Structure 1
Amino acid sequence: MTLPRQHVPFLEVDATPMTVDELTDVLDGFIAEGGTRTIVGHNLHSVTLLHSDPGFRSFYEQSDVVLIDGAPVLWLWAKSLEGDGAKERSMDYRLGSTDWIPALAKIKGLERIAVIGAGSQANAQAVARLQDVVRHAQVEGMPGEGWNDELEARAVAWLGEQRPQLVLLGLGMPLQEHVLQRNRAALPPAVYCTVGGAIEQIAGIQKLAPRWIGRVGLEWAWRLLLHPKRVAYRVFGEPWVLMGLLVRRQLRQRLRERRQR
């Protein structure tokens, strides 16, 4: 199953925008096939990494599903839509991990889920809550706090023993993406989903912003209020880094075009 990509103007990235129902249909197919698939998401942080880290870019380009998570990415993608009410309906295509994880109960044939990441308490609480959501599946967890080479090797071995069909990997970006990329050949077949801080949010340890705040594009303010040290750079510094990367990309493209004339 190959999914067509859609271009996000200005940011110069591609995505596979989906609603929750569309994603569950795709997951139905992935689980039935039983192969290895990857599901990631785009926000301004991932866009910045894609334009600055060749390995990260390669991983995203090879991923099967690239959801739209961040509001600015969604708005720029929505500008390319056509038809009455298309831009209004586009809000249904903003999917953070906590938007679609509760719908896992709808996935046919999903019997084994692994949750890797966060501290011991958060991981255990997230596993318990997911078990309540997906009652027909067995949910197992492994904390990811203090991630290092030894823990990474143990996680790969643990996944080989568990043989999950779906893995929620929440180690933060870009660590979680690099872990999947460098261990791709050793990992058992499964649908691997990078979920960032969603494990702590599912556990109830990290407070989730009300969805109306996300819809108006102010989730960054909510996170800044709750975790100022953690997100201050992303809010105030990283957009300028991304702007510089995009300008440099544009200048290089124009230079190449001139040389080809």
Structure 2
Amino acid sequence: MTLHRQHVPVLEVDATPLTVVELTDVLDRFIAEGSTRTVVGHNLHSVTLLHSDPIFRSFYEQSDVVLIDGAPVLWLWAKSLEGDGAKDRAMDYRLGSTDWIPALAHVEGLERIAIIGAGSVANAQAVARLKDVVPHAQVDGMPGEGWDEELEEKAIAWLEGIRPQLVLLGLGMPLQEQVLHRSLPSLPPAVYCTVGGAIEQIAGIQKLAPRWIGRLGLEWAWRLLLHPKRVAYRVFGEPWVLLGLLIRRRRRLRGKR
């Protein structure tokens, strides 16, 4: 199954925008197939990494689903839409991990889920919450704190033993993408979803921004308020890095003409 890629102008990346219902349908098919698939998401951080890291770019280009997570990415994509009311419906296509994970209960045939990442307490709480969300599924967890080569090998063996159909990998970006890029050939068939900090959010340890803040595209302000040291660079520094990367890319392409 090949999903149509759509271009995001200005940022020069491609995505496969889906609503929650559409993603659920896609996951239905992936689970039925039983093959290896990857689901990732685009925000300004991932766009910056894509334009600066060839391995990260390769992984995203080969991924089956590239959701739109960040508000700036969504707004720029929406500008390219045509048709009455198309831009008004664009917000339905902004899917962070916590937007679609609650809908896993509606994925047909989903019986085995694995959660990898976060500390032991957060991971255990996320497993318990997901068992409530998807009561018909077996949910197993493995903490990802202190991730190194040894833990990665243990994770591969653990996944081989439990053979999940869907894996939520929350190691933070770009570690989670690097892990899948190098280890995917050794992993058992499943749908692998990179979910960043969503494990702590599912666990209730990290507070989610109110929905109205998200619809205004101000989640960055909420995160900055809660985690100033962790988020400050991404909010104030990384956009300038991305701007420089995009300018250099445009100059490079002009030079080839």
TM-score range, shorter chain: over 0.9
- Hey, what's the Cα distance between the residues in 1 that align with 2:103 and 2:185? 29
Secondary structure at the aligned position of 2:186 is classed as coil
- Hey, what's the Cα distance between the residues in 1 that align with 2:72 and 2:161? 40
Match of 2:164 in 1: 164
Match of 2:70 in 1: 70
Per-residue CA shift, 1:94-129, capped at 9, x if unaligned?
A: 000000000000001000000000000000000000
- Hey, what's the Cα distance between the residues in 2 that align with 1:175 and 1:207? 23
Q: CA RMSD in A?
A: 0.4
Secondary structure at the aligned position of 2:89 is classed as helix
Match of 2:53 in 1: 53
- CA shift, 1:213, in A, is 0.6
Match of 2:32 in 1: 32
- Hey, what's the Cα distance between the residues in 2 that align with 1:162 and 1:212? 39
Matched, 1:84 2:80: no
Matched, 1:139 2:139: yes
Which stretches in structure 2 are left out of the alignment for 5+ residues?
Answer: none
- CA shift, 1:178, in A, is 0.4
- Hey, what's the Cα distance between the residues in 1 that align with 2:184 and 2:166? 15
Tell me the amino acid that sits aligned with residue 208 of structure 2: L
- CA shift, 1:185, in A, is 1.1
Match of 1:200 in 2: 200
- Hey, what's the Cα distance between the residues in 2 that align with 1:112 and 1:166? 7
Which stretches in structure 1 are left out of the alignment for 5+ residues?
Answer: none
- CA shift, 1:83, in A, is 1.1
- CA shift, 1:207, in A, is 0.3
Per-residue CA shift, 1:133-163, capped at 9, x if unaligned?
A: 0001000000000111111110011000010
Tell me the amino acid that sits aligned with residue 200 of structure 1: E
1:222-241 paired onto structure 2 within 5 Å: 222-241=222-241
Per-residue CA shift, 1:147-202, capped at 9, x if unaligned?
A: 11111110011000010000000000000000001001110000000000000000
Percent of pairs with identical residues: 84
- Hey, what's the Cα distance between the residues in 2 that align with 1:117 and 1:6? 30
Per-residue CA shift, 1:41-76, capped at 9, x if unaligned?
A: 000000000000000000000000000000000000
- Hey, what's the Cα distance between the residues in 1 that align with 2:164 and 2:128? 16
- Hey, what's the Cα distance between the residues in 1 that align with 2:229 and 2:211? 23
- Hey, what's the Cα distance between the residues in 2 that align with 1:58 and 1:24? 25
Point out 4+ residue stretches in structure 1 off by more than 4 angstroms.
none
Matched, 1:186 2:186: yes
